[in-house]
A and B are shown apart, each in its own frame.
Chain A
Amino acid sequence: AQTVTQSQPEMSVQEAETVTLSCTYDTSENNYYLFWYKQPPSRQMILVIRQEAYKQQNATENRFSVNFQKAAKSFSLKISDSQLGDTAMYFCAFIHGAGSYQLTFGKGTKLSVIP
């Protein structure tokens, strides 16, 4: 079974600075997808970014980008120009491709953006 590990339970960053959240995963498959979800205090789960394993190019979405290292099974999230609204729990998630149904989540990293 696949596992997702987020080794940083909590992190903080100064407003306007850059922060990187770590995620590693374990799988023997070659076709899969990786995600970062944001959960603010409102509890709503919000998709931040996704990465297809077959794509070598790292995904980017405005201030959010990933560093996908397939051989190392690493999938870190970089947040640039951090804003107060980025304060939230961040979850890394994994799913196999080809019609899989079950997303596997990490335990999350609590990010605090300090004014």
Chain B
Amino acid sequence: NAGVTQTPKFRILKIGQSMTLQCAQDMNHNYMYWYRQDPGMGLKLIYYSVGAGITDKGEVPNGYNVSRSTTEDFPLRLELAAPSQTSVYFCASSYSSVGATNEKLFFGSGTQLSVL
């Protein structure tokens, strides 16, 4: 199993450009998440999905969009990139809610994004 795969690993964007961060998991997990990690900070939830066709906002959703057309994929779209979106982005997945007994998050290796 590859687990959670994120691409690209690094990207530099100019202000106003758009891009999509890809995330795929091969564990048949229902739940998928996007987090961002700013320097010196913990992770903050951007969006999450509890299954194909279902998405919802997390703590910091502004400037992002997501879709979940399949169980495996959960892309994150940045429209009109801004310097405030410079961050490390992590995708994660779990079979059920992390707020459940013995459940755990599986993380991808992250995407370092710089907006200049």
Binding site for B on A (CB under 8 A): 4, 32-33, 42-47, 50, 52, 91, 93, 95-108
Would you mind naming 27 contact pairs between A and B with Cβ atoms under 8 Å apart? Answer: A4-B42, A33-B98, A33-B99, A43-B88, A44-B110, A45-B43, A45-B90, A47-B104, A47-B105, A93-B42, A97-B99, A99-B97, A99-B99, A99-B100, A100-B98, A100-B99, A101-B45, A101-B48, A101-B97, A101-B99, A102-B48, A103-B43, A103-B98, A103-B105, A105-B42, A107-B42, A108-B42
Which residues of the partner chain B approach A102 to less than 8 Å between Cβ atoms? 45, 48, 58-59
Residue B74, interface by CB 8 Å: no
Contact present for B101 and A95 (CB under 8 Å):
no
Which residues of the partner chain B approach A93 to less than 8 Å between Cβ atoms? 42
Beta-carbon contacts under 8 Å, B29-47 to A: 31, 33, 40-45
Minimum CB–CB distance for B109 against chain A, Å:
6
Which residues of the partner chain B approach A4 to less than 8 Å between Cβ atoms? 42
Residue B50, interface by CB 8 Å: yes
Range, interface on chain B: 20 to 34
Which residues of the partner chain B approach A45 to less than 8 Å between Cβ atoms? 43, 90, 92, 105, 107
